[in-house]
């Protein structure tokens, strides 16, 4: 287990921001991530080895501090070995705006998504991207993100896992409408620690035809180039799946789309970005808590190995929204239709209306439906819950739905197991060190 001394900013322990965590927290992340000056990838990312000391200084809100030793051998090995071998990156295309074609070069919102093959997109950023990595492509599909089904998500996980058997990292291009759900699904189900990066675009790539001129101000080419660069660098090794758009990358669990048309649409409320890409420089500012387990692959991976279950094991799981005087009929109808899990997007700290509460009680009692309670506010935690009602913490409803679905697939009808996984996987936090010798010394006053 990688050792880290956490500081918990504003009660959110899953990600440790340098500025918010203070000197000790910033130092802990710097030690955990290791050197940040190399790029590339290696063919031995899944083999831990002894790493040399880190002497990189951390500059932020706190004074400059020197770190004693690297805390994750596997992460450091991956990043350092990247400089020695040209990495292999596979780009899996699923369509979306990034593969879109507009009528004219000045049409930013009027276009047909999912038109251009992924091989063509990658070809148009050659030879520059070829200097970063040996890039191969897989055309998984070519449509808008909202058109994909859960069985197709299941197959996408298999495609990513297959690519990672030979590639050092994978980039998945998709539409932005449900990109955060694509990302979190892969974050929960991909068992490899190698980088998985989701990217796309807010403006279509070409005008007129698939081989037509580029749309004015198209963001797709830069996003695709940067996503490949990030995957090749191994800077997100053990981070799980990340989402990269507009020169920034975010944790799949936390990121959400906040604007219908703006290129900076993806935001991580409360916590901010994991890092950013400034030309050739990739800066990592924080890390997901699962990085702590980077040196122990079995502990790092989630229990949701889809290769062990058929796609038919994934139960139907739905979301019900709460509003003034909301009726309970949708919950009743879903339960009667055979839905096994329901996420409520409640008011404030997860509140539901009286009729919804009555319907929820009946659905749990009569049909065994398991509920996860979340908030429609977009930030803040939901706590409490008992029986078949599980508190979702600060998971967004669309993310909680995927986690609940997987929980019920691997533990059918088991609300207690769902509660455990929503807490330990959906709301993971850094674990304090247990031995005094493992503690990172604080600087003198």
The tokens describing 214, both together, are 């580029």
Q: Out of 72-76, 153-157, 170-174, which region has the weakest mean confidence (pLDDT)? A: 72-76
The pLDDT, as a whole number, for residue 24 is 34
Portion of the chain with pLDDT greater than 70, in percent = 81
User: In the predicted model, what is the mean pLDDT of the chain?
Assistant: 85
Residue 157 a catalytic site member: no
Residue 211 is given by DSSP the state T
Instruction: Look at the block and give the residue holding tokens 């350092």.
Output: 80
- Among residues 97, 137, 322, 374, which one is catalytic? 97
User: 1-302+430-445 — its CATH code?
Assistant: 3.40.50.1170
The pLDDT, as a whole number, for residue 71 is 73
Question: Nearest-CA neighbor of 433 among 443, 441, 445, 424?
Answer: 441
Which whole number is the average pLDDT over 39-60?
33
Are 1-302+430-445 and 306-424 equal in CATH topology? yes
The pLDDT, as a whole number, for residue 387 is 96
User: 306-424 — its CATH code?
Assistant: 3.40.50.40
The pLDDT, as a whole number, for residue 357 is 97
> Using 50, 70 and 90 to split pLDDT, how confident is the model at 433?
low
Domain map (residue ranges) of the chain: 1-302+430-445, 306-424
Q: Is 129 helix (H, G, I), strand (E, B) or coil?
A: helix
The pLDDT, as a whole number, for residue 434 is 65
Gap between the Cα atoms of 424 and 283, Å rounded:
28
The pLDDT, as a whole number, for residue 440 is 45
pLDDT tens digit sequence for 192-223: 999 999 999 999 999 999 999 999 999 999 99
Portion of the chain with pLDDT greater than 90, in percent = 76
The pLDDT, as a whole number, for residue 431 is 79
Which whole number is the average pLDDT over 384-398?
96
Q: Does pLDDT of 306 surpass 80?
A: yes
Gap between the Cα atoms of 262 and 259, Å rounded:
6
pLDDT tens digit sequence for 143-164: 999 999 999 999 999 999 999 9
């Amino acid at each position: 287990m990688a050792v880290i001394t956490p500081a918990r900013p504003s009660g959110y322990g899953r990600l440790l921001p340098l500025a918010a965590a203070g000197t000790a927290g910033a130092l802990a992340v710097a030690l955990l991530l290791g050197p940040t000056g190399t790029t590339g990838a290696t063919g031995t990312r899944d083999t831990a080895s002894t790493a040399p000391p880190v002497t990189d200084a951390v500059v932020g809100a706190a004074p400059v501090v020197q770190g004693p030793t690297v805390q994750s051998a596997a992460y450091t090995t991956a990043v350092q070995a990247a400089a020695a071998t040209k990495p292999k990156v596979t780009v899996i295309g699923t369509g979306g705006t990034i593969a879109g074609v507009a009528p004219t070069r000045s049409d930013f919102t009027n276009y047909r998504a999912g038109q251009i093959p992924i091989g063509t997109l990658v070809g148009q950023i050659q030879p520059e991207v070829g200097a970063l990595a040996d890039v191969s492509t897989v055309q998984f599909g070519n449509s808008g993100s909202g058109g994909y089904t859960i069985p197709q998500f299941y197959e996408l996980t298999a495609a990513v896992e297959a690519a990672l058997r030979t590639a050092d990292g994978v980039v998945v291009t998709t539409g932005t409408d449900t990109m955060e759900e694509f990302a979190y699904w892969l974050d929960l189900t991909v068992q490899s620690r190698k980088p998985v990066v989701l990217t796309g675009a807010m403006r279509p790539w070409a005008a007129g035809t698939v081989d037509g001129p580029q749309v004015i101000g198209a963001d797709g080419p830069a996003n695709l180039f940067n996503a490949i660069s990030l995957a090749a660098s191994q800077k997100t090794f053990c981070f799980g799946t990340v989402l990269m758009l507009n020169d920034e990358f975010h944790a799949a669990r936390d990121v959400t789309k906040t604007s219908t048309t703006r290129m900076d649409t993806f935001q991580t409320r409360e916590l901010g970005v994991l890092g950013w890409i400034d030309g050739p420089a990739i800066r990592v500012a924080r890390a997901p808590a699962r990085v702590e387990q980077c040196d122990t692959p079995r502990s790092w991976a989630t229990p949701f190995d889809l290769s062990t279950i058929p796609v038919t094991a994934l139960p139907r799981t739905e979301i019900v929204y709460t509003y003034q005087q909301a009726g309970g009929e949708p919950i009743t109808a879903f339960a009667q239709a055979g839905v096994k899990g329901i996420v409520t997007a409640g008011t404030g700290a997860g509140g539901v209306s009286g009729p919804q509460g009555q319907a929820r009680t009946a659905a749990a009692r009569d049909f065994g439906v398991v509920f996860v309670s979340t908030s429609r506010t977009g930030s803040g935690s939901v706590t409490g819950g008992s029986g078949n009602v599980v508190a979702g913490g600060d998971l967004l409803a669309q993310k909680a739905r995927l986690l609940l679905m997987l929980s019920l697939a691997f533990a059918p009808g088991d609300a207690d197991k769902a509660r455990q996984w929503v807490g330990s996987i959906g709301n993971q936090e850094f674990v304090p060190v247990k031995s005094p010798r493992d503690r990172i010394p604080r600087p003198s006053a």
